[in-house]
Amino acid sequence: MNTDHFGVKIAVYPGSFDPVTNGHLDIIHRASKVFDKLVVAVLNNSSKNPLFSVEERVELLRRVTSDLPNVEIDSFRDLLVNYMKQKNAHLIVRGLRAVTDFEYELQLASMNRKLDDNIETFFMTSTPQYSYLSSSIVKEIARFHGPVGDLVPEEIERALRAKYTKN
């Protein structure tokens, strides 16, 4: 297994996390037990129109992962492989909910490996209770003031309510 120069296994879990869901948190908690350090990296994707700003997503993630000492929350706007070099990391964590996720994730993993052959991608399957869950679904339910308490942490539910009360 690739490790950095100090023998510490550093993994990066990239994503938009708009908003972070219980499914994301499940992967974060499980990955934090596997790797010495897990960097949860919020992608600043200018082609998307997110509900929460990058700064808000980073702050919300910090709040809901504060009990995990080996988890760092950060953001990036570059190619993931360039960000990985900055973090001296060689391991990418990706969650898989269903077979349909696998094709897309395999493409990303293959491209990342082509760009840097020191990069490995670790796929973690979703816990079955979260296999249907996505940030898009959560936002759609919250937008129409539906219940999302079982889908996101309480902190995120409050933030969603505040966003959709303003709109």
Residues belonging to the binding site for substrate are: 16, 48, 80, 94
Residues annotated in a binding site: 16-17, 24, 48, 80, 94-97, 105, 130-136
> Which residue out of 32, 126, 135, 139 is catalytically annotated?
135
Is 53 one of the catalytic residues?
no
> Which residue out of 48, 77, 114, 145 is catalytically annotated?
48
> Which residue out of 9, 37, 97, 113 is catalytically annotated?
97
Is 145 one of the catalytic residues?
no
Is 48 one of the catalytic residues?
yes
d(Cα 159, Cα 60) in Å, to the nearest integer? 9
> Which residue out of 24, 57, 90, 139 is catalytically annotated?
24
Is 33 one of the catalytic residues?
no
Residues annotated in a binding site for ATP: 16-17, 24, 95-97, 105, 130-136
d(Cα 12, Cα 10) in Å, to the nearest integer? 7
Q: Which sequence positions are flagged as catalytic?
A: 24, 48, 97, 135
